């Protein structure tokens, strides 16, 4: 058993996180129930309302801190809408803090840099999240997401990973609810396609959809081309063209 450090200060409360402007150290005032879960009186509710109002006014020491809280809230909202892991949301929040420290927010909208931070973090992790998917939950356009990403990449140097067809196979296979055997075979096909250079200059999502379709055909459990093309956000002719290339390779 380890001895306690007598100089250590005990800490209570939630875990520190960069996803909140105060890193999670501030207090939160409740609403209509007390510490024991009982409903409070109307007089107490009015008092809590006044306390929350004054608390909100005192939380931010500057406009920059208020903008940071807005941006981090946007990143958390977008990440939740896209079902992204909390660790990625925290990493995107930390990237936004770096952008604010580098004065990249000046002249640009908070929402654009927030969306760009989330997209850049997905790129850095090699996750198949295209710009239009980020824009679908963001409060800015797809072009603005790209502009925010370029500003971050230019000034902070984003170490973006290459998104391959194999990455998309895992995601599309899960969304299409195909069997593990089909997904495993599709992953092998995507690996061969990458090694043979078939994916060069091709949309990796289209190649992945074609791999899943070919794997399904081989195992007699093929979903429709229309279904896979919709999941991959590519046209049916694109999927069919990649399918023909894969059959020639096989």
CB atoms within 10 A of CB 187: 19
Quick one: pLDDT at residue 212? Answer: 93
Instruction: Indicate if the pLDDT at residue 19 is higher than 70.
Output: no
Cβ pair 99, 105 in contact under 8 A: yes
Provide the pLDDT confidence category of residue 130 given band limits of 50, 70 and 90: confident
CB atoms within 10 A of CB 125: 17
Q: What count of Cα atoms within 13 Å lies in the side-chain half-sphere of residue 157?
A: 0
Residue 118: which residues within 8 A CB-CB, separation 6 or more?
A: 75, 78, 79, 84, 89, 92, 134, 138
pLDDT in tens, 102-112: 999 988 999 99
Task: Give the DSSP H/E element, type plus range, for residue 154.
Answer: helix 142-156
Quick one: pLDDT at residue 137? Answer: 94
Provide the pLDDT confidence category of residue 197 given band limits of 50, 70 and 90: confident
pLDDT in tens, 110-119: 999 999 999 9
């Amino acid at each position: 058993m380890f001895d306690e450090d007598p100089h250590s200060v005990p800490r209570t409360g939630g875990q520190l996180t960069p996803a909140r402007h105060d890193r999670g150290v501030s207090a939160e005032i409740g609403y209509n129930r007390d510490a024991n879960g009982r409903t409070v009186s109307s007089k107490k509710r009015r008092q809590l309302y006044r306390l929350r109002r004054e608390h909100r006014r005192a939380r931010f020491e500057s406009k920059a801190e208020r903008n940071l809280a807005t941006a981090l809230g946007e990143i958390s909202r977008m990440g939740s809408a896209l079902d992204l892991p909390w660790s990625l949301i925290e990493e995107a929040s930390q990237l936004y803090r770096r952008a604010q420290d580098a004065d990249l927010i000046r002249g640009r909208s908070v929402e654009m840099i927030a969306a760009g931070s989330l997209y850049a973090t997905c790129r850095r992790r090699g996750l198949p999240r295209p710009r239009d998917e980020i824009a679908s939950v963001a409060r800015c356009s797809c072009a603005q997401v790209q502009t925010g990403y370029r500003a971050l990449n230019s000034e902070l140097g984003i170490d973006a990973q290459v998104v391959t067809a194999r990455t998309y196979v895992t995601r599309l296979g899960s969304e299409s609810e195909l069997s593990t055997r089909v997904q495993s075979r599709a992953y092998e096909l995507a690996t061969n396609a990458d090694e043979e250079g078939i994916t060069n200059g091709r949309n990796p999502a289209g190649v992945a959809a074609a791999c899943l379709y070919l794997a399904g055909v081989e195992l007699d459990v093929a979903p429709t081309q229309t279904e896979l093309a919709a999941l991959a956000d590519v046209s049916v002719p694109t999927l069919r063209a990649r399918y023909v290339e894969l059959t020639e390779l096989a």
